[in-house]
Structure 1
Amino acid sequence: MGLPPFKPFMTRTEFAAHIGVAKSYVTKLGHQGRLVMGQGDNAERIDVAATKALLADTTGAPARAAVVTPAFGDAREAREHYQAEMARLDYEERCGRLLPAEEVRSLVAGAATALRTRLELLPDTLAPRLAATADEAQVRAVLAGEIEAALAELAHQLGKVPARGAV
Structure 2
Amino acid sequence: MEKSTGNQSDYGRHIGKSRSYVSKLVKQKKIPVEPDGTINFARADYALQRVADPARQTVKPQETEPAEQTNLLSSAAEGISKVSQSAPPASNTYADLKTEKEKYNVELARIDYETRQGNLLPKSEVLEAMEGAARTIAQGLESLVAYSSEIASAGRTGGEEAVRACLKSKIKDIRLLTSESLQKAASLETETDGST
Give the TM-score normalised by structure 1. Answer: 0.47
Structure number having the greater helix percentage:
2
